[in-house]
Amino acid sequence: MSAEFRVRSSKTQRSELRTKYSELITMKLTREEFEELAVLALRRLPKFFKKKMKNVDVVVEDRASRDLLSEVGLESPFELLGLYQGVPLDRRGFYYGNVLPDKITLFQIPIESTCQTKEEIEDRVREVVIHEVGHYFGLDDDRLRELENESE
């Protein structure tokens, strides 16, 4: 992935989901505003990381599907803010190539449900992007939590 980042939306039924979960969301952004925050978070990554990231799609979905939640062992769509799907860099061998892009998904409704202001959403999007990029580089959840705790 070059320094020019693009974030795309999934094709879920946004209006139905927004109506269903609207009482749980204090601060709501348009999809475009949310995508802009995702692009901003990607642009603010250190150059070292941006240079190493290649063949990664970043998408925004309203929330995780029931099937996906079951696959990752969660029950509530509000438990999953983001997800990395792919082969982490540290697990790729010489045979790795001609593959579909890795995917980082940001789930807008669960992220918004944890925030009261646009600034909080911006911070949370940044945290989720950094966390999922960490998975791309091969860090597991335990190591990422350690790093997050060290930076506080």
Domain boundary assignment for the chain: 7-151
| SS3 track for 12-42 | CCHHHHHHHHHHHCCCCCCHHHHHHHHHHHH
Count CB atoms within 10 A of the CB of residue 116.
10
Helices 118-136 and 31-43 pack at an angle, to 10 degrees, of: 50
**Mean per-residue pLDDT, 86-100:** 89
Indicate the length of the chain as a whole number: 152
Each residue's pLDDT tens digit, 28-73: 899 999 999 999 999 999 998 899 999 999 999 999 999 999 999 9
Task: For the chain, report the end-to-end CA distance as a whole number of angstroms.
Answer: 29
CA 75 to each of CA 22, 70, 71, 72: distance values in angstroms, whole numbers, following the listed order: 19, 7, 10, 9
pLDDT at position 139 is 87
- Joined tokens for residue 68: 């996906």
pLDDT at position 2 is 42
When mean pLDDT is compared across 13-27, 69-83, 92-106, 115-129, the lowest value belongs to 13-27
Q: Assess if CATH 1.10.1740.10 describes domain 7-151.
A: no
Task: Give the residue ranges of DSSP H helices in the chain.
Answer: 14-21, 31-43, 47-52, 66-71, 108-113, 118-136, 141-151
Query: Are residues 107 and 132 in contact, defined by beta-carbon separation less than 8 angstroms?
Result: no
Q: What pTM was computed for the model?
A: 0.81
Each residue's pLDDT tens digit, 97-151: 888 999 999 999 999 999 999 999 999 999 999 999 999 999 888 888 777 776 5
- Which residue type occupies 93? G
- Joined tokens for residue 103: 């995917």
pLDDT(95) > 60: yes
